[in-house]
Amino acid sequence: MHRIGYVQKRALVAGRAVLGLDPGKEKHVGHLLNPEGLPLGKAFTVPVSHSGYTETLWKELAARLPAFDPTHLVVAIETA
């Protein structure tokens, strides 16, 4: 039963970049992995604000993924 879920999740992220976000009260910490699972640069922070999401996050993604296509990005948010 667990194997089926694992296989489905692996198929979902196959060939896509993964943005991992660790949410915080004042800032979120993000880390980007390429489709092969290798890190793309160092971790970055995004302030918890409108400009943090609309400007900072997208600027960081564009710097790490020059040919950015949202259909090839999976966002994973850590939950407590």
CATH of domain 2-77: 3.10.20
Can you give the pTM of this predicted structure? Answer: 0.81
* Helix, strand, coil tally for the chain in percent (to 5): 40, 30, 35
14 CA to centre of own chain = 14
The answer on pLDDT for 1 being more than 70 is: no
**Summary mean pLDDT of the chain:** 89
What angle is formed at CA 31 by the lines to CA 27 and CA 36, rounded to 5 degrees?
Answer: 165
Query: pLDDT at position 32, please?
Result: 92
- Span 37-67, pLDDT tens digits: 899 889 999 999 999 999 999 999 888 888 8
Ranges of each domain in the chain = 2-77
Q: Per-residue confidence at 25, pLDDT binned at 50, 70, 90?
A: very high
